[in-house]
Structure 1
Amino acid sequence: MVRRSICVLLVVTMLVTPTLALAQPVPSSQEPRAPAIPTPQTPQVPPQAPPVDFPVRAPGGVPTAPRPDPCGLVGQQRVQSPEYRLGSGDLLDVQIAGRLDVTRQQVVVDPEGMLTIPPIGSIAVAGITLRETNRRVAERARALLRYAEVSISVQQPRCFEVVLSGEVERPGSLQSSALRRVHDVLLAAGGITPRGSLRRVVVSREGSSVELDLLRFELTGDLADNPLVEEGMRIHVPPRGGSVTLTGAFRRPGEYEIGADGGLRSLLQLTGGVAQAAAAGQARLTRVQPDGRKETLSVDLARALAPPADVPLRPGDVLFVPQLTVLQDVVEVRGAFNGTAESSRTVTAGKPTIVQRFELAQGDRVKDVVGRAGGTAAYADLRLALVERVGAAGPRQRIPIDLHRLLVEKDDTPNIVLENGDVLSLPVAEDKVYVLGEVRNPGGIDFRPDLTPREYVALAGGPTVRARFKNATVTYRNGRSYLLAQAPPLEPGAVVTVPEVSVRWYQDYVTIATTISSLITAYTGLFVLFGGRVNTGDD
């Protein structure tokens, strides 16, 4: 038993001793060193793109945030559109999948516009779309290989030079990728100066040119006015043309350059038109005349812009459309007033007249509005002024206003209180007396206070044979009529009417019979006078 225990102890000792020996550290000839203190590592900051040394402004001078050069990020761009047109310098990713293996390679379109893909060969791809390129390469691959699926994508679009000129902040040449559009290239060049035109940008290439309206693109997003740039393209921004100002109840009020057609309808379609609460029928167009005088015209936009009608615009025009709430209390004056600088001018009977609307304050009377309209003109017929008023329920009323009594005689009886929507009309004083009806020369005759109605008829050539002069009448401008013999002294604008003699139905036949009878009598007398013979000249 003791022998067995000693043997087990020896075996265990032999097994444990090598393990402990291996666990001991190997003595080193070098002196021990203190453990190194780890130094903190600063996080690595990815390199940033160099800052742009000019502020980028949108076309028209609107500042925007700086943007990198269009070609600075082309390595990170990947074309997805199958309508992208290839050109020299495009880097393509070509993948051909067979039955057992897949071949993938990157190929650059060479300067001749050829795409060389081993083992397919060279294919002309310049100017064609990415979809068409896939189709051509697939046809060539299937002609050589029994089974092949081709997939081509643009890994990196080409970069080329575009020339900018005219009213651009940084004119000259600019590197651009084929993915950029005209608007982006102008932004990268600093934008269009305030003096430049946003609606007549000229883009030319290979002898052909087209005019772009970048304002239309900005407001509507129409890419037809913002095409992709192409190699060899030149972009010219001409000086800004004439502009008009839209104020009041418009969806986009402001100053706009006049378009190529020069009409108001296209401008309103572009800017969104008038606001919902606009009084389009009460618009006012202020226009500067060649002599520097401003003239304001009343415009009903609904009627003036009904197709095919349009309102031609001139540089400096200002179109104002009030809101409906502003027009709750207005009065309109028409006729022989002196007017103000904002009055719309017309001509009536050879004399200048005005049409203008005024805001109506509570309690305003006729005399107040006449003063705002610049007073009455020297050729105004003060006694025949009137106020047209639309009642709440009923026809339009015509209220006579004797301004001579109000302004000259200082009688305030005609000075009535005006209401919203009233129209104050003041006619031009007539300086003629009109003689009409059965006279030899009907028409107007210059007024002379010393002439009687009969003398005016005589100046008109006198009555004709069919005139019934005793029934002639005189009608005055106030609407009253008198027989010629009972008429008071004439005044300008009076009308003298000479009626025609009333003829019964049988009197014309009697006249015809009398004429025929006279002819028969004359012929019979000649027959008897010559003894019943007719001289033929043979005797």
Structure 2
Amino acid sequence: MLPDAPAPMVPARVDGRLPDNAPQNADYAANMASDAFGAQLFSGAFSRDSASVFNPSHVISVGDKIQLRMWNGYALDTVLTVDAGGNIVLPEVGPFRVQGTTNEQLQAAVAGVLRRVFAGRVAIYASLLAAQPVRVYVTGAVRRPGLYNGTSGDSVLRYLDQAGGIDPERGSFLDVAIKRGNQQLAVINLYDFLLKGELATRQLNNGDVILVHPRKKNTLVSGLAENARRFEFPGEQATLADIARLAKPMPQATHVRVTRNSGTLRNVEYFPIGMGSQIAIFGGDEIEFTADKRPGTITVRVEGEHAGPQEFVLPYGSRIQDVLSQVQYTPQSDPASIQLFRVSVKERQKILLGTALRSLEASVLTVRSGTPEEAQMRREEAGLVLQWIERAKKIEPTGQTMIAKSATRGQLLLENGDVLRVPVKDGLVVVNGEVLFPNAVAFEPDLDASDYIQQAGGYSQNADASRIVIAHRDGSFSDGNSNGTVRAGDEILVLPKVDVKTRQFAKDVFQILYQLAISAKVVLGL
């Protein structure tokens, strides 16, 4: 099968940027989202402008344009092109070889030869006007192999950027070769540029080739590292110390967890960072830098209606009473409904939701049908459910923990990052979900859940009137049908109907709808 032809070049605008519909823009967006170290280099920034004319190290070559100006007794303002012999033709002098001269040396060289003919009072100025336009092949593991325009002094990064960048799933950032015919001129390691600011420069000729070789062995780094990315390394293995020099662990990191790429089994090893030079890393291994020590202090925030400090730094092992004893309530505060939001609870809620969604997804993809008509119906239904699952995966739980009614809440241990929120006595009830006009309604003690729903316009066509959740400010929940008592500050969530034909689907979706309502206070219609 023949490889796909490269996409046609889209001309840049006057400001050097690609138009919005340029195919490279999708490549740049994918590069920014990639976990490969170095992929973010290629976002279109290098392809916008060429600054080769200002490079003092640029070596004059065939095709370059030189501007020559003379005045004070001899008037001349002209542009001279370096011919095939490497010469320019100077007035009263004739051919003069400039090929091989650097941009920095050009003025002195031209002025020196003209001084043999012209008097000292004649002013002479020579400068590089434009480097030789060239067309360079970019191939190998790049997103859009092809022939790209530039100048002889442009960097390799500019040509790679025009080609959409190195494909992070296939290409190597350690092994970018510049070839001229059968000769390899240079090999560029882009990690040197990213980490040390070093980039080998090579003047390119028309028809030169930039070849990105296949990706080397690699490892994924996560956790407490400044560069938590996927890194390549040459050879069959590297040491943890080699990877650490690239990933730059944070000061608080003390240990490293290495998950070995050993087929279906995941073997996990745990080491102090100090053993880095003794630990071998192989392709496909995963590295996580961790802080394996008890923190000396924790930070807790207090938000909402209070007059005291917003943030508290407490010794490790502090309890909620240590913070609440310092909170200064206002007349509008509602301390009886104080709320706790915890990162670890949010993570557990996210895991539980993910497990339920994966189970539903597996059920949708493995359901069987008895007839072609039933199969078509199942396929259409599965498509809708899968779209709903993708939306549900993006929902973030709040991490709220119910503590307001606990008699021993003051003894609850605090965790780093906890947020205590003091609600305000606002006298409102929020009606959300499948109602015609979701809104906040003034609290009336004589009204129940159905009354508030009617004030929000009543049920929508997609509402399930038998499934109403009342979310109280203290983190507790009640059924709006069996116990329709509503308190000031509550939120009434009317859940949608689940219109699926498969009974098991309906059961699983009902479970997830309740989970979303309780963990995130979100009503997600199907």
With normalisation by structure 2, the TM-score equals 0.45
Q: Which has the larger radius of gyration?
A: 1
Normalised by the length of structure 1, the TM-score is: 0.44
Larger relative contact order (Cα-Cα within 8 Å, sequence gap ≥ 6): 2
